[in-house]
Amino acid sequence: MKIVIQRVTKASVTIEGEKVANIANGLLVLLGIVNDDTTDDIKWLTNKIVNLRIFGDENDVMNKSIKDINGDAIVVSQFTLHASTKKGNRPSYIKAAKPDVAIPLYETFIQQLSTDLGKAIQTGQFGADMKVDILNDGPVTIIIDSKNRE
Protein backbone atom coordinates (compact mmCIF):
# COMPACT_ATOMS: atom_id res chain seq x y z
CA MET A 1 0.00 0.00 0.00
CA LYS A 2 1.39 3.34 -0.99
CA ILE A 3 0.23 6.80 0.04
CA VAL A 4 1.08 10.34 -0.88
CA ILE A 5 0.28 12.79 1.90
CA GLN A 6 -0.05 16.48 1.14
CA ARG A 7 -0.40 19.04 3.91
CA VAL A 8 -3.08 21.45 2.74
CA THR A 9 -4.75 24.66 3.81
CA LYS A 10 -7.69 23.62 1.64
CA ALA A 11 -8.63 20.71 -0.60
CA SER A 12 -11.70 19.51 -2.43
CA VAL A 13 -12.83 16.73 -4.74
CA THR A 14 -15.32 17.31 -7.55
CA ILE A 15 -17.03 14.57 -9.57
CA GLU A 16 -19.10 15.46 -12.64
CA GLY A 17 -19.36 19.08 -11.52
CA GLU A 18 -20.46 18.21 -7.95
CA LYS A 19 -18.17 18.91 -5.00
CA VAL A 20 -18.18 15.70 -2.94
CA ALA A 21 -15.44 16.54 -0.41
CA ASN A 22 -14.12 19.79 0.99
CA ILE A 23 -11.72 20.52 3.86
CA ALA A 24 -9.70 23.41 5.21
CA ASN A 25 -6.56 22.73 7.26
CA GLY A 26 -5.45 19.10 7.12
CA LEU A 27 -4.25 16.34 4.82
CA LEU A 28 -5.05 15.09 1.36
CA VAL A 29 -4.16 11.39 1.22
CA LEU A 30 -3.78 9.65 -2.15
CA LEU A 31 -4.04 5.88 -1.66
CA GLY A 32 -2.73 3.17 -3.97
CA ILE A 33 -3.48 -0.51 -3.27
CA VAL A 34 -1.81 -3.69 -4.55
CA ASN A 35 -3.02 -7.30 -4.36
CA ASP A 36 -0.90 -8.33 -1.38
CA ASP A 37 -1.95 -5.43 0.86
CA THR A 38 -3.62 -6.39 4.15
CA THR A 39 -5.28 -4.84 7.18
CA ASP A 40 -1.82 -4.83 8.78
CA ASP A 41 -0.69 -2.37 6.08
CA ILE A 42 -3.77 -0.27 6.78
CA LYS A 43 -3.22 -0.14 10.55
CA TRP A 44 0.44 0.77 10.15
CA LEU A 45 -0.27 3.52 7.60
CA THR A 46 -3.23 5.10 9.40
CA ASN A 47 -1.23 5.18 12.64
CA LYS A 48 1.63 6.83 10.75
CA ILE A 49 -0.71 9.40 9.17
CA VAL A 50 -2.36 10.56 12.39
CA ASN A 51 0.92 10.77 14.31
CA LEU A 52 3.20 12.23 11.63
CA ARG A 53 4.45 15.58 12.94
CA ILE A 54 4.26 17.78 9.85
CA PHE A 55 2.24 20.75 11.12
CA GLY A 56 3.83 23.85 12.63
CA ASP A 57 3.89 24.56 16.34
CA GLU A 58 3.92 28.03 17.93
CA ASN A 59 7.50 28.50 16.62
CA ASP A 60 6.52 27.29 13.14
CA VAL A 61 8.54 24.09 13.61
CA MET A 62 6.95 20.89 12.28
CA ASN A 63 6.16 19.36 15.67
CA LYS A 64 2.41 18.77 15.53
CA SER A 65 0.32 16.01 14.02
CA ILE A 66 -3.06 16.23 12.34
CA LYS A 67 -4.54 15.03 15.64
CA ASP A 68 -2.78 17.82 17.53
CA ILE A 69 -4.25 20.52 15.28
CA ASN A 70 -7.67 18.82 14.99
CA GLY A 71 -7.23 18.81 11.21
CA ASP A 72 -9.40 17.12 8.60
CA ALA A 73 -8.54 14.61 5.90
CA ILE A 74 -9.65 13.61 2.43
CA VAL A 75 -8.74 10.16 1.08
CA VAL A 76 -8.66 9.65 -2.70
CA SER A 77 -8.08 6.29 -4.39
CA GLN A 78 -5.13 6.52 -6.77
CA PHE A 79 -4.20 3.34 -8.64
CA THR A 80 -1.59 5.25 -10.66
CA LEU A 81 0.68 5.38 -7.60
CA HIS A 82 1.73 1.84 -8.54
CA ALA A 83 2.60 2.69 -12.14
CA SER A 84 5.64 1.02 -13.61
CA THR A 85 7.60 3.17 -16.05
CA LYS A 86 10.55 0.83 -16.62
CA LYS A 87 9.66 -0.03 -20.21
CA GLY A 88 8.69 2.47 -22.87
CA ASN A 89 6.72 5.63 -22.28
CA ARG A 90 3.31 4.25 -21.44
CA PRO A 91 2.97 3.39 -17.73
CA SER A 92 1.84 -0.09 -16.75
CA TYR A 93 -0.62 -0.43 -13.88
CA ILE A 94 -0.41 -4.21 -13.57
CA LYS A 95 0.63 -3.99 -9.89
CA ALA A 96 -2.49 -2.05 -8.89
CA ALA A 97 -5.18 -4.18 -7.27
CA LYS A 98 -8.40 -4.79 -9.21
CA PRO A 99 -11.61 -3.34 -7.72
CA ASP A 100 -12.73 -6.62 -6.10
CA VAL A 101 -9.58 -6.52 -3.92
CA ALA A 102 -9.03 -2.77 -3.74
CA ILE A 103 -12.51 -1.53 -2.79
CA PRO A 104 -12.81 -3.47 0.50
CA LEU A 105 -9.29 -2.39 1.49
CA TYR A 106 -10.04 1.23 0.50
CA GLU A 107 -13.18 1.21 2.64
CA THR A 108 -11.36 -0.41 5.57
CA PHE A 109 -8.57 2.19 5.27
CA ILE A 110 -11.11 5.02 5.51
CA GLN A 111 -12.83 3.43 8.52
CA GLN A 112 -9.52 2.84 10.30
CA LEU A 113 -8.28 6.37 9.61
CA SER A 114 -11.57 7.74 10.93
CA THR A 115 -11.19 5.66 14.11
CA ASP A 116 -7.55 6.70 14.59
CA LEU A 117 -8.27 10.38 13.94
CA GLY A 118 -11.50 10.40 15.93
CA LYS A 119 -13.57 12.05 13.23
CA ALA A 120 -15.23 11.41 9.88
CA ILE A 121 -13.00 11.25 6.82
CA GLN A 122 -14.08 12.81 3.55
CA THR A 123 -13.40 10.91 0.35
CA GLY A 124 -13.51 10.90 -3.36
CA GLN A 125 -15.27 8.02 -5.11
CA PHE A 126 -13.41 4.85 -5.97
CA GLY A 127 -12.87 4.54 -9.73
CA ALA A 128 -14.46 7.88 -10.59
CA ASP A 129 -12.94 10.58 -12.76
CA MET A 130 -12.22 13.13 -10.05
CA LYS A 131 -10.97 16.70 -10.08
CA VAL A 132 -8.84 17.26 -7.00
CA ASP A 133 -8.17 20.86 -6.06
CA ILE A 134 -5.57 21.55 -3.36
CA LEU A 135 -3.60 24.35 -1.86
CA ASN A 136 -0.48 22.50 -0.73
CA ASP A 137 0.87 24.13 2.43
CA GLY A 138 4.65 24.40 2.57
CA PRO A 139 4.69 22.62 0.21
CA VAL A 140 4.78 19.46 2.31
CA THR A 141 4.36 16.22 0.34
CA ILE A 142 5.39 12.85 1.75
CA ILE A 143 5.34 9.41 0.11
CA ILE A 144 5.01 6.34 2.35
CA ASP A 145 5.02 2.71 1.21
CA SER A 146 3.85 0.16 3.80
CA LYS A 147 6.24 -2.40 2.27
CA ASN A 148 9.26 -0.21 3.20
CA ARG A 149 8.89 -0.07 6.97
CA GLU A 150 12.51 -0.64 7.87
Question: Is 108 an annotated catalytic residue?
Answer: no
Q: Is residue 48 part of a domain?
A: yes
Residue pair 31/78 in contact (Cβ under 8 Å)? The answer is: yes
Say how far apart CA 97 and CA 82 lie, in whole Å. Answer: 9
Say how far apart CA 27 and CA 6 lie, in whole Å. Answer: 6
Q: Is residue 114 part of a domain?
A: yes
Q: Is residue 27 part of a domain?
A: yes
- What pLDDT, on a 0 to 100 scale, did the predictor assign at position 61? 96
pLDDT digit string, tens, across residues 83-138: 999 999 999 999 999 999 999 999 999 999 999 999 999 999 999 999 999 999 99
Residue from 5, 65, 8 nearest 31 by CA: 5
Q: Is residue 138 part of a domain?
A: yes
Q: Is residue 93 part of a domain?
A: yes
Residue 60: which H helix or E strand, with range? none
CATH of the domain at 90: 3.50.80.10
Provide, rounded to the nearest whole percent, the portion of the chain with pLDDT above 70.
100
Q: Which of 80, 85, 108, 115 is catalytic?
A: 80
Domain count, the chain: 1
Q: Is residue 150 part of a domain?
A: no
Q: Kind of pairing, strands 26-32 and 2-15?
A: antiparallel
Domain residue limits at 31: 2-145
